[in-house]
Amino acid sequence: MRPIPRLQEALSPSSRPVRRLDLVACSGLSETALRSSFSEIEALYRSVDGVLSAVSNGLDLPCHRGCSACCRQSVFLTPIEFLYGWHWAQTHLEEETLEEIVGRGIALYHEHKALIGSLEEASHQKRDAFEIARGLRFDCPYLGGDGACRIYPARELLGRLFGCSFLSEGALYACSLVEAHLQGRSLPFPRAPQMAQMLRTLPLSSRRQVYPYYLFHLHRESASLDALPWLVEETVEG
């Protein structure tokens, strides 16, 4: 894994990046803990991808690059997954692309502020947020113009599971294309909620929110680079 740049490196006078952040400071974790969490996420994603590849082998799923309906709804992820994805983004993407992603994320946050706020409220009160989440639909800020994910290797766990897992007995966690394709087959798919539990051993993993929420809180004007309380509050369960 590439090193996690600290703020002082990121802000070198020759190239003062606007959107590249000191994620160690933002996370409130030590550099060692953050680095180790990122390594664990990488290992977990590799292992999950291996399982999903095995269980979907031979099914000829209709998923392909650019088929992105699953990225045009509300996708939930934990803070540590978000930080890992942003670390990947700010390590691999150009500044203009980061700027565009942040701009879209903040605009989406404002557009859907009421529903995102309702999600927060429901999760603070330990209420089921499913109905609210169903009404929250938007194009993921990480989607590129070609319909492909711009952080594909670092995308969230639930995105990986979508299309080849179950939510509960007989209830596919998938889009209608996949459902129609797999109708009537006996499937060896894992349960998404159980797989999602594997993240719980990591720090900053006890809640889930949507990308615009994280992008807004990390990049809004006057955002603090100190450990941010919104990363650690207990809220949405996946």
Cβ–Cβ < 8 Å for 119, 133 = yes
187 binds ligand SF4 (CB under 6 A): no
| CB contact set of 82 (below 8 Å; sequence gap of 6+) | 156, 209, 211, 214
Counting contacts by CB under 6 A, is residue 213 touching ligand SF4?
Answer: no
Residues 187, 182: Cα–Cα separation, whole Å: 8
Rounded Cα–Cα distance for residues 154 and 149 (Å):
10
134-153 binders of ligand SF4 (CB under 6 A): 140, 142-143, 149, 151
Is 116 one of the binding residues for ligand SF4 (CB under 6 A)?
no
Shortest gap between Cβ of 181 and ligand SF4 (angstroms)?
A: 8
Number of other residues whose CB lies within 10 A of the CB of residue 40:
17
The Cα-based distances of 126 to 22, 34, 80, 113, 238 in angstroms read: 32, 28, 21, 20, 12
Shortest Å, Cβ 104 to ligand SF4: 11
Nearest approach in angstroms of CB 45 to ligand SF4 is 12
Q: Does 172 bind ligand SF4 (CB under 6 A)?
A: no
Please identify which residue in 34, 52, 70, 192 interacts with ligand SF4, judged by CB under 6 A.
70
Radius of gyration of the chain (CA): 18
Q: Is 4 in the site for ligand SF4 (CB under 6 A)?
A: no
69 binds ligand SF4 (CB under 6 A): yes
Minimum distance, C-beta of residue 70 to ligand SF4, in the bound complex (Å): 3
Report the nearest approach of ligand SF4 to the CB of residue 226 (Å): 26
User: According to CB under 6 A, which one of 87, 112, 155, 219 is a site residue for ligand SF4?
Assistant: 155
- Interface with ligand SF4, residue 62, by CB under 6 A: yes
102 binds ligand SF4 (CB under 6 A): no
Contact 238/207 with Cβ under 8 angstroms?
no
Nearer to ligand SF4 (CB atom), residue 153 or residue 229: 153
Residue with tokens 């798919």: 189
Q: Is 71 in the site for ligand SF4 (CB under 6 A)?
A: yes
Bridge partner residues of 166 (DSSP): 172, 191
Is residue 38 a contact point for ligand SF4 (CB under 6 A)?
no
**What are the helix (H) ranges across the chain?**
7-10, 23-27, 31-55, 79-92, 95-111, 113-124, 130-134, 157-161, 176-182, 192-197, 211-219, 229-232
Q: Which residues of this chain interact with ligand SF4, rule CB under 6 A? A: 62-63, 67, 69-71, 75, 140, 142-143, 149, 151, 155-156, 159, 162-163, 174-175, 177-178
